Structure 1
Amino acid sequence: MKVIRPNVPPHEEPRGVVGGHEVSRATTGSENLFMGIFRLPAGAASRPHYHANCESACYMLRGQMRIRWGERLENVVELEVGDMLWVPPHETHVLENPSATEDAEYVVARDSPTEDAVEVPWAPR
């Protein structure tokens, strides 16, 4: 067992969101699980990406997010505090924070011990 405390400095993830503390292969040696807390600053958006070899689940802690997904990012869903979202593998998506003043904060769980994000440069924004 290992306790992961929230005193880790924030760090930018390759896809453009801010990571915090996490359970992962890097922090615990986990073989099949990733769980982390992320923040999307007010007015910010992630870069288009997908997760290659894992399913993801998101739980909104604070603020709101707009998720665009699909081949041309043509689908949209809005998340509020308490909402959960399931994302299948290889689903291209973008996270957007529509608030000009409040950061969005959320928990992500995956059936992979690593971040597993692949940026999609050809997807529209």
Structure 2
Amino acid sequence: MKVIRPGGAPHEEPRGVVGGHEISRATTGSENLFMGIFRLPAGARSRPHFHANCESACYLLSGGMRIRWGERLEHVVELQQGDMLWVPPHETHVLENLSDDDDVEYVVARNSPTEDAVEVPWAPR
């Protein structure tokens, strides 16, 4: 067992969101699980990306977020505090903070021990 406590330095993920603390292969030696807390700054939008070899489950802790997904990001759903979202493998998506003033904070769990994020340069931005 290993306890992961808040307080580490936030770090920007390649896809444009800010990571906090996490359970992953890097922090615990996990073989099949990733769970982390992320922040999307006020007015920010992630870069188009997908998670190659895992499913993701998200729980919105605070704020409101728009998710665009699909090959041309043609589908849209909005999440509010307390909502959960399931994302299948290889589903290209973008996260958008609905507020220009407040950050969004959310928890992500994956059946992979790593971030497993792949940026999609050909998707519309």
TM range (shorter): over 0.9
Mapping of residues 25-40 of structure 1, within 5 Å = 25-40=25-40
Q: Deviations over 1:50-98 (max 9, x none)?
A: 0000000000001011000001000000000000000000000000002
Which segments of 5 or more consecutive residues in structure 1 lack a partner in the other structure? none
**Alignment-derived partner of residue 70 in structure 2:** 70
Secondary structure in structure 1 of the residue aligned to 2:26 = helix
Q: CA deviation at 1:42?
A: 0.4
Mapping of residues 50-65 of structure 1, within 5 Å = 50-65=50-65
Letter in 1 for 2:35: M
| TM-score normalised by L of structure 1 | 0.99
CA distance in 1 between counterparts of 2:4 and 2:47 reads: 27
Which segments of 5 or more consecutive residues in structure 2 lack a partner in the other structure? none
**Alignment-derived partner of residue 123 in structure 2:** 123
Mapping of residues 1-125 of structure 1, within 5 Å = 1-125=1-125
How much identity, in percent, do the aligned residues show? Answer: 86
Q: CA deviation at 1:104?
A: 0.2
CA distance in 2 between counterparts of 1:98 and 1:31 reads: 35
CA distance in 2 between counterparts of 1:31 and 1:65 reads: 30
Q: Deviations over 1:90-114 (max 9, x none)?
A: 0000000020101000000000000
- The runs of 4+ residues in structure 1 deviating greater than 2 Å are none
CA distance in 1 between counterparts of 2:36 and 2:103 reads: 16
The alignment's C-alpha RMSD in Å is: 0.4
